[in-house]
Amino acid sequence: MVLSGLVVADFSRVLAGPYATMLLADLGADVVKVERPGVGDDTREWGPPYAPGGEATYFLGVNRNKRSIALDLRADAEVARALAARADVLVENFRPGTMDRLGLGYDALRELNPGLVYCSITGFGSGPGAALPGYDLIAQAVGGLMSVTGEPDGPGTKVGVALVDVITGLHAALGILAALRHRDSTGEGQRVEVSLLSSLLSALTNQASAYAAAGVVPRAMGNRHPSIVPYEVFETADRPLVIAAGNDRLFQALCGALGRPDLAEDARYATNAGRVAARADLVAELNAALRERPADEWFELLTAAGVPCGPINDLAAAFALATDLGLEPAVELGGVGQVANPIRLSATPPAYRLPPPGLGQDEAWVREILGP
């Protein structure tokens, strides 16, 4: 495996850090999860739901392929430092300054291990925002995501998963891999810093660019798109259907499949800019046509015409669709279902070697790699 032999000291907990280290573990890294004695990662208690064995599914979802050791970072400081000295990568998401006070900060550890890639994940950086609590919900609120999510007259809506944590974890993993590439060339480690707020602003892409490049402050539009029409949820005879006709050709194909070629010939709707300006009238016309048939019939007809569309699935239906499409979305590990790693590599694919660990179960293994 591509990261075999790489040792990752994972001092993180909850989601952003554990998600990043699980991605590295799936690619072969030996990840040592450092947890609080008797308590462990907070997410061990974040249930329901629970898997058949009684473990919280939240914890199980981001901690496979890892080994666990329970350490009191004050009483067991020397063990923690020995692990950092042995590691290639260290990941932590304590409030800025905490690891320094424990003698485990980057400046102290790089003297001990010059090749160490040290990744710090914060909520709002290590400067003036250092004291702010790094919770995903807070980042969604103050970072603008809730302002563009939900209905226009609503109070702002959070996304249905801790998406900012996940995005930050992805950025952390990418930064770590870039730093490892640099170390391969120079032998030098470095510090990698990512924050929830910066990661969210980057991930807001076109919405953030509207402000950065044009001074436009986007607002919530429900399921509508600020710059593309038709690209939203439509009514059918029985249930909603999403249609994403992102260019003139697809709009023409949609109109043909609906039996309304006249809409594509209407000068008001000839360009995307025109369709955005005349959104209300066009959507009313499309809804009237779509209400003539149920969603499944439209899905078949529009897909055959090359028009991107789909029903709004729940997770059971989403997993079923991915399975039908041959994407193998789930695996079983230790008798418990797991969401598969989405990365496909032809030569060094991800592997599922270890189920999520019990608290402190791998102390003997960890002490063995640390040596006498």
Return the active site residues: 225
Label the pairing between strands 336-339 and 330-333. antiparallel
Closest by Cα among 131, 198, 210 to 164: 198
* Token couple for 102: 């424990």
SS3 assignment, position 139: helix
* Token couple for 333: 């590990």
* Token couple for 306: 């090359």
d(CA 318, CA 353) in angstroms, rounded, equals: 26
Neighbours of 348 (CB within 10 A): 12
Go through 263-280 and write b for each residue having 16 or more CB atoms within 10 A of its CB, e for each that does not: bbebeebeebeebbeebe
Residue 109: which residues within 8 A CB-CB, separation 6 or more? 81, 84, 85, 90, 116, 118
